[in-house]
């Protein structure tokens, strides 16, 4: 991973005052930046729903009930990831470091994925160097998609905006079966290489086998529906999870409004880190109570990137502070409706499939 240096600009001053006002807000209201009673309720709610739906699924008495409960369990697990796993990975779901780590490990590893690999690279790569190829783990180098200007333009990329939704269906299956597994062999569709410690490699394999055990083998063994029925439920579950996951997160950084900065020969960017976060993130309905509750604050992505040390349950109170300061320092904060962000995402795919270079659209509000 290329480690980069930033300069100081108006984003630096903005970020300094933002942190000062956020600290003042929490101090004046006697609050912690970590989760409050609402967050505790969400933790018990989502883990409780995971267990409830799985128990009902594994004891279901009809194929219809089995499918409904299997898919409800999958949705519940995804909402657990949005609302609990992510904040716990940043150490802000609860105050205790031990419980944050436990919540993150449980909720992530039990999905068949490796908490260590994702947590380390999310915090030390994606959050530091958002949208920068060679430094951001989430910048893909998949031959079926062209996401950056440095990637070769192939004839079939012209149609990527059309076939993308179909391939998006396989996002979580690819993650489970291939994305992390290939890393064990020094192979990856990511633009940076990943080193996995031996103990984490063992855990990666063990949890994937455990996941297959309780999601496929156990239902086949306990229920009379047969393996084709269970396997179809498994696939449908991953299709739904994939579309929802990409639909929530894909529009945040893959847009024809955002930048994909390129450092100079000395690994230096001509902007500050806070300005990078604002130029590479799209928010949608950032002050929506429903989306904050449902998506764990992922719809306020720029806010999260700048303040990862604040639990999402506080976002609705601090976003007005954030917006006021961005306007004060004449910084572009990109917020739009979800429909606009989705359209922007597909315009990005279309442009990257037809043009060698991408000039971001000018955001105006």
What does the pLDDT read at residue 190?
56
- Give the number of other Cβ atoms within 10 Å of residue 118's Cβ: 20
pLDDT band at 180 (very low <50, low <70, confident <90, very high): confident
d(CA 127, CA 73): 30
- The SS3 assignment for 190 reads strand
Q: What is the mean pLDDT of residues 184-196?
A: 64
d(CA 18, CA 40): 27
Round the average pLDDT of the chain to a whole number and report it.
90
CA 44, distance to chain mean position in Å, is 22
Res. 93: pLDDT tops 90: yes
Q: What is the mean pLDDT of residues 298-311?
A: 94
What does the pLDDT read at residue 342?
96
What does the pLDDT read at residue 220?
95
Cβ burial of 314 (10 Å; 0-12, 13-18, 19+) is buried
**126 or 271: which leads in pLDDT:** 271
Contact yes or no for 35/94 (Cβ under 8 A): yes
pLDDT band at 126 (very low <50, low <70, confident <90, very high): confident
d(CA 339, CA 248): 12
Residue count (the chain): 365
d(CA 219, CA 111): 16
Q: What is the mean pLDDT of residues 292-311?
A: 94
- The SS3 assignment for 272 reads coil
39-74 confidence digits (pLDDT tens): 999 999 999 999 999 999 999 999 999 999 999 999
| Angle formed by the axes of helices 63-80 and 37-58, nearest 10° | 150
Question: Which residues contact residue 123 at a Cβ distance below 8 angstroms, ignoring those fewer than 6 apart?
Answer: 89, 90, 308
What does the pLDDT read at residue 275?
94
pLDDT band at 192 (very low <50, low <70, confident <90, very high): low
144-175 confidence digits (pLDDT tens): 888 888 888 999 999 999 999 999 999 999 88
Residue 311 CA: distances (Å) to CA of 103, 146, 207, 283: 14, 34, 28, 17
What does the pLDDT read at residue 189?
55
pLDDT band at 130 (very low <50, low <70, confident <90, very high): confident
**Taking the model in full, what pTM does it have?**
0.90
**DSSP conformation letters of 118-166:** HHHHIIIIITTSTT-TTT-TTSB--TT---STTSPPPGGGGGHHHHHHH
What does the pLDDT read at residue 191?
53
pLDDT band at 186 (very low <50, low <70, confident <90, very high): low
Res. 313: pLDDT tops 70: yes
């Amino acid at each position: 991973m290329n480690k980069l240096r930033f300069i100081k600009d108006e984003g630096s001053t903005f970020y300094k005052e933002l942190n000062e006002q956020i600290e003042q807000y929490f101090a004046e209201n006697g609050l912690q930046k970590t989760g409050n009673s609402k967050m505790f309720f969400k933790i018990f709610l989502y883990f409780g729903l995971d267990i409830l739906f799985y128990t009902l699924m594994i004891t279901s008495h009809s194929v219809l009930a089995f499918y409904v409960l299997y898919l409800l369990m999958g949705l519940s697990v995804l909402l657990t990831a949005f609302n609990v796993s992510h904040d716990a990975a940043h150490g802000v779901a609860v105050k205790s470091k031990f419980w944050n780590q436990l919540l993150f490990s449980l909720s992530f590893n039990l999905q068949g994925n490796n908490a260590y690999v994702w947590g380390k690279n999310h915090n030390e790569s994606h959050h530091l160097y958002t949208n920068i190829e060679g430094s951001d783990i989430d910048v893909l180098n998949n031959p079926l998609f062209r996401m950056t200007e440095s990637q070769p333009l192939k004839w079939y990329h012209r149609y990527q905006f059309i076939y993308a939704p179909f391939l998006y269906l396989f996002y979580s299956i690819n993650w489970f079966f291939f994305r992390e597994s290939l890393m064990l062999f020094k192979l990856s569709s990511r633009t940076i290489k990943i080193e996995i410690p031996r103990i984490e490699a063992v855990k990666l394999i063990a949890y994937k086998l455990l996941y297959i055990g309780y999601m496929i083998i156990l239902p086949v063994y306990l229920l009379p529906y047969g393996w084709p029925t269970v396997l179809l439920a498994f696939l449908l579950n991953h299709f739904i999870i994939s579309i929802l996951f990409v639909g929530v997160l894909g529009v945040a950084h893959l847009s024809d409004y955002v930048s994909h900065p390129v450092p100079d020969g000395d690994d230096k960017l001509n902007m500050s880190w806070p300005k990078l976060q604002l130029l590479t993130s799209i928010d949608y309905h950032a002050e929506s109570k429903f989306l904050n509750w449902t998506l764990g604050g992922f719809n306020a992505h720029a806010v999260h990137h700048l303040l990862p040390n604040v639990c999402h349950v506080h976002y609705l109170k601090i976003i007005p502070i954030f917006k006021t300061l961005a306007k004060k320092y004449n910084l572009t904060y990109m917020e739009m409706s979800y429909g606009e962000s989705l359209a922007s995402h597909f315009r990005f795919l279309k442009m990257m499939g037809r043009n060698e270079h991408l000039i971001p659209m000018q955001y105006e509000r």
